[in-house]
Amino acid sequence: MSAEYATSAEKSLPWLKFANPRNFYPLAGKMIPWFTALAIIFTLIGLYISFFVAPTDYKQGESYRIMFIHVPAAWMSMFIYIVMACYAAIGLIWNIKLSDMMAGALAPTGAIFTFLALWTGAFWGRPTWGAYWVWDARLTSELILLFLYLGFISLRAAIDDPRRAARASGLLALVGVINVPIIYYSVKWWNTLHQGASVSVTESPKMASIMLTAMAVMAFAFWMYTIAVVLARVRTDILEREREAVWVVEEVSRTA
């Protein structure tokens, strides 16, 4: 591809050059296949452990297998929000365009995992608690997280000027961070129907450790998936935002 472009500041801090969309674009392109491969491998291992290695739960029967995607999806919903808010903060403080684009690219994936945490939770709650939904502190705060993601996405879509959109949505993302510890500690602070930290649901230690392995492998698979899909999304955003740049004109004219 094109020669790398670096300012003097970027020469003294070499990795900083990847804050430049022009240098980040080809790097992201090279990273996507690796994260995709890892996501596929870990999904297959995770599903295998979830369905064929982990034994039937003596209390809940087979419905507890929903946990192997429910818990990782819920973790992702919170992790992605924190990462998104960090990118938004870096974008706001140092006025780095790529950082704002990363925040924007993370939001849809975060919203999807939040929805999936709620959805799988509903389908686990029905056979376990007898209800798809209750206005429990854990469930309600997770629903608020979904609205925060959707608000962030809509706000960006509603403002035409990308710099103003970055500032407004970045502030929303930062204010919303307060909700993440509320979700996390909700099971301690309030008397919830939702169980406490799932990592300690230990009856026999052997079973707990295989369950923990399945959840960790699935969480890792979701992380790899997230990185791959977010990098792919941000590459398109870079092309759109930098469409005036010569390298983008060359890049889009190459194949299409």
Partner 1 sequence: MNWESFSDFIQMGKHGFYVWSSYGVTALFLAIEILLVRRKRQVVRKRLARLARLDTTLEK
Q: Is 133 in the site for partner 1 (CB under 8 A)?
A: no
Side-chain-side CA neighbours of residue 20 (13 Å): 18
Residues from 92 through 131 that contact partner 1 (CB under 8 A)? 108-109, 112, 115-116, 119-120, 123-124, 126-127
Beta-bridge mates of residue 57: 61
Beta-bridge mates of residue 61: 57
Least gap, CB of 156 to partner 1 (angstroms): 15
Residues from 220 through 239 that contact partner 1 (CB under 8 A)? 225, 229, 232-233, 235-236, 239
Q: Quickly count: other Cβ atoms within 10 Å of residue 156's Cβ.
A: 19
Rounded to the nearest 5 degrees, what angle is found at the Cα of 28, between the Cα atoms of 22 and 31?
150
Q: Can you tell me the distance from the alpha carbon of 84 to that of 170, in angstroms, rounded to the nearest whole number? A: 9
Least gap, CB of 199 to partner 1 (angstroms): 20
Contact range with partner 1 by CB under 8 A, out of 22-30, 62-70, 156-164, 203-211 = 62-70
Least gap, CB of 65 to partner 1 (angstroms): 6
Taking CB under 8 A as the criterion, the residue among 52, 135, 161, 191 binding partner 1 is 52
Q: Is 156 in the site for partner 1 (CB under 8 A)?
A: no
Q: Is 69 in the site for partner 1 (CB under 8 A)?
A: yes
Least gap, CB of 91 to partner 1 (angstroms): 21
Cα-trace Rg, the chain: 21
Token duo for residue 185: 């500690």
User: Buried (b) or exposed (e) across 113-131, using 16+ Cβ within 10 A?
Assistant: bbbbbbebbbebbeebeee
CB 254 within 8 Å of CB 26: no
Positions that interact with partner 1 (CB under 8 A): 51-52, 54-56, 61-63, 65-66, 69-70, 73, 108-109, 112, 115-116, 119-120, 123-124, 126-127, 225, 229, 232-233, 235-236, 239-240, 243, 248-249, 252-253, 255-256
